[in-house]
A and B are shown apart, each in its own frame.
Chain A
Amino acid sequence: MTKKKILIVDDEPGVTRMLKRNLEATYRYVVRTENSSADALRAAGEFLPDLILLDVMMPGLDGGDVASQIKDDSRLSKIPVVFLSAIVTKDEAEPTGSDIGGRTFLAKPVKFDDLITCLEKHLGK
Chain B
Amino acid sequence: MNQARTEEGSLQTPVTEDDESWLGCWLQPSGPRAVTLIVVIFALIIIVSVLVYETGGTGYAWLHLMYLPILLAAAGFGIYGGIAAALVAGMAVGPCMPMDVAAGLPQTTSSWVFRIVFFLIVGAFSGLVSNFLNGQISRLREAHRDLLQTHEELKSAQMKLIQTAKLESIGRLAAGVAHEVKNPLAVIQLGVDYLARAANDTTSRDSVETIQEMADAVQRADTVIKGLLNFSRSEPLALVAVDLNPIVEDSLLLVKHELTRAHVSLEQSLADGLPKVELDSGKIKQVFINVFMNAIQAMGDTGTLSVKTFLQSSSTGDSGRDLDGASVVVEIEDTGAGIPEDKLDKLFEPFFTTKGVGSGTGLGLSVSRNIVEMHRGTIRIANREGVRGVAVTITFPVPHRS
Contact = CB atoms under 8 A, between A and B. Distances in A.
Contacts of A113: 193
B226 A90 contact: yes
B229 A18 contact: no
A19 interface: yes
A15 B193 contact: no
A109 B189 contact: yes
Given A86-B178, A90-B222, A110-B189, A21 B183 contact: no
A111 B179 contact: no
Interface residues of B, number: 22
Interface string B195-221: 001100000000000000000001000
Contacts of A112: 189-190, 193-194, 197
Given A90-B222, A109-B218, A18 B182 contact: no
A57 interface: yes
Nearest to A116: B193
Nearest to A112: B193
B356 interface: no
A18 B190 contact: yes
A46 interface: no
A117 B298 CA distance: 37
Contacts, number: 66
Interface in A95-118: 108-113
B230 A108 contact: no
Interface in A19-58: 19, 21-22, 25, 57
A80 B385 CA distance: 60
A22 B182 contact: no
B188 interface: yes
Interface string A50-93: 00000001000000000000000000000000001011011100
Contacts of A15: 183, 186-187, 190
**Interface-central residue, B183, B184, B191, by most chain A CB under 10 Å:** B183
A55 to B, nearest CB: 9
A98 B225 CA distance: 19
A19 B190 CA distance: 7
Contact of B186 (A21, A90, A110): A110
B88 interface: no
B287 to A, nearest CB: 14
Contacts of A89: 225-226, 229-230
A14 B222 contact: no
A110 B189 CA distance: 7
Nearest to A16: B187
Contacts of B186: 12, 15, 18, 84, 86, 108-110
A25 B191 CA distance: 12
B392 interface: no
Contacts of B179: 57, 86-87
B194 A109 contact: no
A108 B184 CA distance: 10
B194 A86 contact: no
Contacts of B91: none
Interface of B: 178-179, 182-191, 193-194, 197-198, 218, 222, 225-226, 229-230
29 contacts: A12-B187, A14-B184, A15-B187, A18-B186, A18-B187, A18-B190, A18-B191, A18-B194, A21-B190, A22-B194, A22-B197, A25-B198, A86-B178, A86-B179, A86-B182, A86-B186, A89-B225, A89-B226, A90-B222, A90-B226, A108-B183, A108-B185, A109-B182, A109-B186, A109-B190, A110-B190, A111-B189, A111-B193, A112-B197
